[in-house]
Amino acid sequence: MHQRLIARLQAVSGLAQEELAVLNALPHTVRSLDDRESILKEGDGAFNCVVLISGFLYRRKIVGDRNQILSLHVPGDIPDLMTLYLPTMDHDLISVGQSVVGTVPHAALRAMFDRQPSLVHTFWRETLIDAAIFRHWVGNLGALDALHRVAQLFCELAVRLEFVGLLNRGSFAFPLTQADIGSACGLSTVHTNRTLQALRRRGLLEWRGEMVTLPNRGALEALADFNADYLQRSSKSA
């Protein structure tokens, strides 16, 4: 069931045999979520971590008079891993579309770390990649205009979905609305709409129903000046 998580860890960190075994033995309960159902809210104290199995989640916070989406999450992600050491949520964790999550008690994770200490590094690194994504978005939101922000968003999603085998010839299921994209990119809904039209006009994005296609990823990544290094363990040395 943790296949997506394991695919992620395999792609991003690499896993040894023993580690795989221990990971597979992680106790967990499975739960389905409806569209816009929230898992955790700002201020909640967490005693479990959530592994996204299928669907999408996002983290969001009310900032000023807006709803800001802080991050999007794809299957294999553990969006609340940090609650292991910072148990009080400073934002909400919400499902977009129908999704399925596995819930793993903090205690089970700690027990796993005792049994297989090398996994501490693997999971620590997971939180570091999560941080790298936020850092990247600090740069995006601070320095890029609407077109480039949205392009960055889709480039990043494509790579992350690819890691876990959910990208098929440039296409993927995508249950978000344009308003969601706007609040992730710090844009109004209206301007998000116009920005998406610009991407469509350039032949870089197709979006029908809940299916998004990136017909020309190379061109999209060129437009966004996208580099995926921050999404994985730096493997390739100079």
Pick the closer one to a copy of itself by CB: 23 or 82. 82
Does position 64 bind DNA by CB under 7 A? Answer: no
Residue ranges in 25-54 that form contacts with DNA under rule CB under 7 A? none
Does position 160 bind a copy of itself by CB under 8 A? Answer: no
Pick the closer one to DNA by CB: 192 or 232. 192
Q: Which of 25, 190, 211, 222 binds DNA (CB under 7 A)?
A: 190
Q: Which stretch binds DNA (CB under 7 A): 105-113, 159-167, 179-187, 220-228?
A: 179-187
Q: How far is the CB of 208 from DNA (least distance, A)?
A: 8
Pick the closer one to DNA by CB: 83 or 195. 195
CA–CA dist 158, 152 (Å, integer) = 10
H or E element, residue 134: helix 118-143
Coil, strand or helix: which one is 111?
A: helix
CB atoms within 10 A of CB 102: 21
CB atoms within 10 A of CB 186: 18
Does position 186 bind a copy of itself by CB under 8 A? Answer: yes
Q: Which of 23, 178, 193, 230 binds a copy of itself (CB under 8 A)?
A: 230
CA–CA dist 179, 171 (Å, integer) = 21
Question: Under 8 Å CB-to-CB from 49, ≥6 apart: which residues?
Answer: 78, 80, 81, 83, 84, 103, 104, 106, 109
Task: Could you list the beta-strand ranges (E) of the chain.
Answer: 29-33, 38-40, 48-63, 66-73, 92-105, 171-173, 206-208, 211-213
Does position 145 bind DNA by CB under 7 A? Answer: yes
Does position 222 bind DNA by CB under 7 A? Answer: no
Does position 193 bind DNA by CB under 7 A? Answer: yes
Q: In the complex, which residues of this chain contact a copy of itself (CB under 8 A)?
A: 43, 45, 59, 61, 63-64, 66, 68, 70-71, 82, 85-88, 90-91, 120-121, 124-125, 127-132, 134-144, 148, 183-186, 225, 229-230, 233-234, 237-238
